[in-house]
């Protein structure tokens, strides 16, 4: 589904990422972990299109996407969520999710202004998509609220519903469990498993080791910007390289 | 590559209980059609009840001033940006249609439409340069454009008549009938203004309006959803400019002459003042503002020197006291006052 090949990024003399290669299979949950400064965020930003790689490539289904703008990557079918949920606070929850589905709205200004049948149908379709994804994440009872009125945890769910409504095939999640307590993290893990169940490929980065290990099908470990290990959660737990570099060295990892 | 709409719907599973037969957009459309229709009916009844008189002339100016203001309101209410170019586009609409009909003998209704082609091309050119930038450069860029238009109108004497302006612009004719009386103009112009109000209300409730309201909060996030924000910003700027251009063309064929004052910065500021009176994000407010300003022009601000000072100071005071505009500000104040009295 997603192929990352010899990806490197340097900021001045600093190699934030060096020759990282891996592959994400369709409908799998892939987690990228590593200590602070390992290059997780840099990797994420390159795939999402907010950073350009120094060298190497990212391809989706054989199409090169690295170096494209974030909008072009979004259009290519890669959705993302943010570490701090980025909802449109002045819009309702429903409107936020409808924006996710906006690419299915093919109607222009004239048709919208005249209220033609095509525009009405397009709006109805968007509304229907948004309704379904809001039900999917369990927010169907607050859809009329302003997004800013919701607590942080629910704003994350709005963001997930919005990303799902784009109809993308890959979902990038930037530290989805950040700021959540144990119960909320457990619920989020369940939701991500259900997201994979829809056929979505999920690539997430997170510090939260227990969360990642219980959730991911495959884990990639980065250390100082380089590929350190890759495998199933069990393989990673038993990898001496990982234990030396990461798991053994920090208490709460 | 991409998922189709039906795949997307299928992937989410069954719909929630909240699923509704008619979408909110449908309800909004119905509401706008009812309110605009009722308003039109009232406006058409006015001459039937009160007869003809000079007041119709005043009301015609209200309908004309409302058009550029509606355009600006659409722009500022949705994208949160102000343009100073609506006076200039009003002038382009006025001079464009005047030149086409007077010099080339094109029938005024057609020249009005052709003038808008010029407006669209220029607005698209300005928009596609300025609106790719994220910050609020629109006000500054459009101010420069307004100054250029003002100078061009004064200098291109062979085309515009320079400071003398243009006289003898033909009135709009419908079939074989020329619309010359205030009543005839009233019966054509008010329906046009109300239809354009209705169109603007619909846009604001539509998916286009939703994207534009989101643009103000975060263009990068919209990008990640595959939405190209500049396209929408340029689109609304062009649409907004057409409102000003149509107002200008209709104005020229109503009064029969145009002078450089039509395209002056002063007039651009007057439009912003009308917007400030009615509220920066209220489309209906544009009509209230246009009515207030026309009354002020008619009865209080006939003297140009005074007018500049009063408009300037008035605009500053309104922005300071009621940042959302005079009308919404007064409504809020009244509501608070009554709430306190009641409580």
Instruction: Kindly report, residue by residue over B75-120, the tens digit of the pLDDT.
Output: 999 988 889 999 999 999 999 999 999 999 999 999 999 999 999 9
Q: Cβ separation of B217 and A88 shorter than 8 Å?
A: yes
Beta-bridge partner residues of B178: B173
Q: Is B1 on the interface with A (CB under 8 A)?
A: yes
Question: Which residue among B33, B218, B220 sits closest to A88, beta carbon to beta carbon?
Answer: B218
Above 50 in pLDDT, residue A253?
Answer: no
CA torsion sign for A100, A106, A109, A112 is: negative
Q: What is the pLDDT of residue A247?
A: 59
CB < 8 Å to A65, chain B: none
The C-alpha angle B110, B113, B116, rounded to 5 degrees, equals: 150
Residues A163, A96: Cα–Cα separation, whole Å: 10
Pick the closest to residue A2 from A18, A25, A21 (CA basis).
A25
Size of chain A in residues? 253
For A199, the closest of B2, B11, B224 (CB atoms) is: B11
Kindly give the pairing relationship between strand A201-205 and strand A218-223.
Answer: unpaired
Angstrom distance (rounded) from CA B97 to CA B107: 9
d(CA B315, CA A160): 44
If we measure between CA atoms, which residue out of A150, A23, A136, A25 comes closest to residue B9? Answer: A136
- The candidate with the shortest Cα–Cα distance to B203, out of A182, A116, A229, is A116
Query: pTM for this structure?
Result: 0.90
Question: Does the structure's ipTM exceed the value 0.90?
Answer: no
Q: What is the pLDDT of residue B302?
A: 64
The stretch A166-182 carries a mean pLDDT of: 93
Q: B180 vs B18, which has greater pLDDT? A: B180
Summarised one tens digit per residue, pLDDT across range A89-106 is: 999 999 999 999 998 887
pLDDT bucket at B16, cuts 50 / 70 / 90? very low
Instruction: For residue B16, list chain A residues with Cβ-Cβ distance below 8 A.
Output: 131-132, 134-135, 140
Largest Cα–Cα distance of chain A, in whole Å? Answer: 66
Window 226-255 of B, Cβ < 8 Å to A: 226-228, 235, 239
pLDDT band at B304 (very low <50, low <70, confident <90, very high): low
Residue B68 and residue B207: Cα distance in Å, rounded?
23
């Amino acid at each position: 589904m997603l192929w990352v090949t010899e990806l490197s990024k340097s900021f001045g003399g600093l190699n934030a990422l060096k020759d990282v290669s891996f592959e994400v299979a369709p409908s799998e949950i892939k987690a990228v972990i590593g200590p602070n400064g390992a290059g997780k965020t840099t990797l994420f930003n390159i795939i999402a299109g907010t950073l350009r790689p120094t060298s190497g490539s990212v391809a989706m289904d054989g199409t090169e996407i690295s170096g494209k703008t974030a909008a072009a990557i979004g259009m290519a079918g890669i959705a993302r969520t943010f570490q701090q949920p980025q909802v449109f606070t002045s819009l309702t929850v429903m409107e936020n999710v409808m924006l996710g589905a906006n690419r299915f709205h093919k109607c222009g200004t004239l048709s919208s202004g005249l209220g033609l049948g095509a525009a009405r149908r397009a709006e109805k379709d968007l509304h229907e998509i948004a309704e379904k994804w809001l039900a999917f994440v369990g927010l169907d009872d607050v859809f009329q609220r302003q997004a800013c009125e919701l607590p942080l945890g629910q704003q994350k769910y709005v963001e997930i519903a919005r990303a799902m409504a784009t109809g993308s095939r890959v979902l990038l999640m930037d530290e989805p469990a950040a700021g959540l307590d144990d119960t909320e993290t457990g619920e989020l893990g369940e939701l991500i498993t259900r997201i994979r169940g829809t056929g979505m490929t999920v690539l997430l980065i997170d510090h939260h080791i227990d969360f990642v290990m219980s959730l991911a099908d495959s884990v990639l470990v980065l250390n100082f910007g380089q590929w350190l290990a890759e495998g199933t959660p069990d393989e990673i737990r038993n990898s001496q390289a990982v234990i030396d570099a990461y798991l053994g060295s920090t208490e709460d990892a | 590559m991409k998922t189709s709409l039906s795949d997307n719907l299928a992937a989410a599973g069954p719909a929630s209980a909240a699923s509704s037969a008619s979408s909110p957009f449908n309800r909004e459309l119905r509401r706008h059609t009812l309110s605009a229709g009722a308003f039109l009916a009232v406006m058409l009844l006015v001459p039937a009840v009160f007869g003809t008189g000079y007041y119709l002339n005043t009301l015609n100016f209200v309908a004309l001033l409302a058009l550029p203001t509606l355009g600006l309101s659409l722009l500022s209410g949705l994208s949160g940006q102000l343009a100073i170019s609506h006076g200039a586009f009003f002038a382009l609409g006025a001079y464009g249609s005047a030149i086409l009909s007077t010099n080339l003998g094109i029938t005024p209704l057609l020249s009005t439409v052709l003038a808008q082609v010029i407006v669209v091309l220029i607005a698209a050119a300005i928009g596609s340069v300025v609106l790719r930038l994220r910050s609020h450069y629109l006000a500054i860029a459009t101010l420069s454009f307004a100054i250029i238009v003002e100078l061009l109108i004064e200098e291109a004497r062979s085309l515009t008549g320079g400071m003398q302006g243009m006289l003898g612009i033909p009135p709009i004719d419908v079939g074989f009938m020329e619309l010359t009386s205030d009543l005839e103009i009233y019966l054509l112009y008010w329906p046009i203004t109300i239809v354009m109000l209705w169109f603007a209300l619909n846009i604001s409730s539509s998916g286009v309006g939703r994207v534009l309201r989101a643009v103000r909060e975060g263009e990068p996030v919209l990008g990640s959803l595959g939405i190209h924000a500049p396209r929408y910003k340029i689109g609304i700027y062009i649409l907004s400019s057409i409102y000003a251009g149509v107002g200008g063309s209709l104005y020229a064929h109503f009064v029969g002459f145009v002078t450089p004052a039509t395209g002056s910065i002063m007039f651009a500021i007057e439009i912003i003042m009308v917007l400030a009176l009615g509220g920066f994000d209220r489309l209906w407010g544009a009509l209230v503002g246009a009515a207030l300003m026309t009354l002020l022009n008619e009865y209080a601000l006939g003297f140009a020197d005074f007018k500049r000072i009063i408009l300037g100071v008035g605009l500053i005071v309104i922005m300071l006291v009621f940042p959302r505009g005079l009308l919404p500000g007064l409504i809020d104040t009244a509501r608070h006052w009554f709430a306190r009295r009641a409580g």
